[in-house]
Structure 1
């Protein structure tokens, strides 16, 4: 390890332990699994034991490193820089009582552009994936956070502003339409007339964008999927702030309720709490900003889900190819179960689209 990085690591561990009388043992490192998509990104848990003010105490923190732009893809590197800027900005010092970002114990930007963050090792209290109770609590806290930041200037140079295109994927529309219009027998057998609804949704994406752009905006996390949501002591802690920036009210709740690629809660759990989660978000938001109407917030949630048309096309393509289905972070889930979950989630997508375009 580079001496600068090693010294910064030592400083981060010391900052986390604090105390006037600390005797620390050796630092151990455990590499954590990370999505293969993130080449040139490393995630490790640093851990050990220390005597803090005479008391033996196990400790751990997360070290998140992104290689410099000469190695990491521009998309990944931009995300790493944005998260660094977010932690250095002081924005997370201004959050409502029950919503937090992890504590940061040190940051480093090296001469070659490599980025390292040393952040709190957040431990979720409860089951994974999130259960219904955790989803409802997180929905209310997301609403409170988005309401708390409502009206805050949204022109920070480091904010992410391309969230609509990231989910709407305009570059994939023609290919998506071709997939749906082939009407493969396996897709027709599962979707029937709903294939026409998928096609209409793709063709209506400019209308969906128009709805989103017309609604009130706030500052959003933009990746508040269940894998990034932790419940601790009746509060919500959100990790991975790489996409933070302006977004439509309700957009963060759409991420929580509609994140098929991360293997989050079963669609049956999501559908059982969907309306209650929207209401919890509305209540949390309007406790902060009563001037934004429930109808606007509900429309923001539905339109942000309707933006994610690509899920339906991917499911249709999977039925056509016959390839085993898989949801990202549930490797032990059977392909048959994964396929059924994704098909049911297409129903959630089309219901939100119908309300958006009505």
Structure 2
């Protein structure tokens, strides 16, 4: 399955173009994405049985078996999700790419998914208005599923566990390389940022007690800007292999902090949370929630990861320190806002 076969491509294009394809000429281009696999844009011309030539663009995603920490079946999750009928749970304004064909090579432990090629604005080209729109649509999607509890979702067996964030954090915290570094005398990260991370460690049990009171929702769990496409006011998400049960706001932490627009992080933090809660509250009453824990989730998911990235890239790169500084400023500004409300 490692190479694209013309016969398979003709079958896939017949479904995509809704007509019988007689022959096809194509070329491929590697796309960024896929943890252990190959993602390719396939373009060319397909000839129908009556001689008409139709141009096409389609994505082939081949994924080999690999084991993500704490989530061993994630390598085949996107295949399992596309084989299920949860596609019906999406809306026109919030969805995944349409899938035309899936295959599983059991002997090679490899999946292949043929899906729609998405064109739109993505990555750091997303504007503040788009961030806000994406956050609201995410809230609306999760709120609808939370309120309706559809059987098709409850019956899925290959979803990441609700404990994934906690296990992820505890695993990172156990790495002496990052844990000891922020506590060492020769640490190159400013002291106030190290103290922010140490405070999270010291308060972790209490923080998780608060997080675990939040609603459990279906999370994408790789909800960062490169996986988000905004097109004509609609949100399309790619890469669903980490999808599973998580907590309200967990995906927001990724949207705001995962290789994000550092210059606007604080602004997006304060814009996206209200938008997200607005979308969710269209389907479920969450007026009783006064502690969204998004700030804490950002540090649990990305605090030690940013330290690791900083160590990997060396002291010459300060992007990750800048990111930690913006996270520090988020809470500082929030504490100031609370102080003004209560005085």
Give TM-score, length-normalised by structure 1. 0.79
Map 1:84-233 to 2 at 5 A. Answer: 84-112=79-107, 113-125=109-121, 128-151=124-147, 152=149, 154=154, 156-161=156-161, 162-165=163-166, 167-170=168-171, 172-173=173-174, 175=176, 176-184=178-186, 186-187=188-189, 191-233=190-232
C-alpha contact 1:219 1:246 (8 A) present in aligned 2: yes
C-alpha contact 1:154 1:218 (8 A) present in aligned 2: no
C-alpha contact 2:216 2:245 (8 A) present in aligned 1: yes
Give 1:300 shift: 4.2
Give 1:249 shift: 1.0
Using a 3 Å threshold, how does the CA distance of structure 1 residues 110 and 279 change in structure 2: closer, same or farther? Answer: same
Give TM-score, length-normalised by structure 2. 0.82
Using a 3 Å threshold, how does the CA distance of structure 1 residues 349 and 198 change in structure 2: closer, same or farther? Answer: farther
2:323 to 323, 335, 342: 342
Give 1:28 shift: 1.7
Equivalence for 2:341 = none
User: 2-side partners of 1:146 and 1:171: how far apart?
Assistant: 28
Using a 3 Å threshold, how does the CA distance of structure 1 residues 157 and 61 change in structure 2: closer, same or farther? Answer: same
For structure 2, list consecutive stretches of 5 or more residues without a partner in the other structure: 337-343
Using a 3 Å threshold, how does the CA distance of structure 1 residues 8 and 166 change in structure 2: closer, same or farther? Answer: farther
Using a 3 Å threshold, how does the CA distance of structure 1 residues 294 and 7 change in structure 2: closer, same or farther? Answer: farther
User: 2-side partners of 1:349 and 1:139: how far apart?
Assistant: 17
C-alpha contact 1:154 1:245 (8 A) present in aligned 2: no
The superposition leaves residues 18-63 of structure 1 with CA deviations (integer Å, 9 ceiling, x where unpaired) of 24x766541222222447xx34x11111111246799764311111
Using a 3 Å threshold, how does the CA distance of structure 1 residues 348 and 89 change in structure 2: closer, same or farther? Answer: farther
Give 1:102 shift: 0.5
The superposition leaves residues 136-172 of structure 1 with CA deviations (integer Å, 9 ceiling, x where unpaired) of 1111111111111114265632111142135414353
Instruction: Give 3-state SS (helix, strand or coil) of 1:186's partner.
Output: coil
Give 1:114 shift: 1.3
Give 1:255 shift: 1.4
Which is further off, 53-62 or 105-114? 53-62
Do residues 13 (structure 1) and 13 (structure 2) align? yes
C-alpha contact 1:215 1:248 (8 A) present in aligned 2: yes
C-alpha contact 2:10 2:23 (8 A) present in aligned 1: no
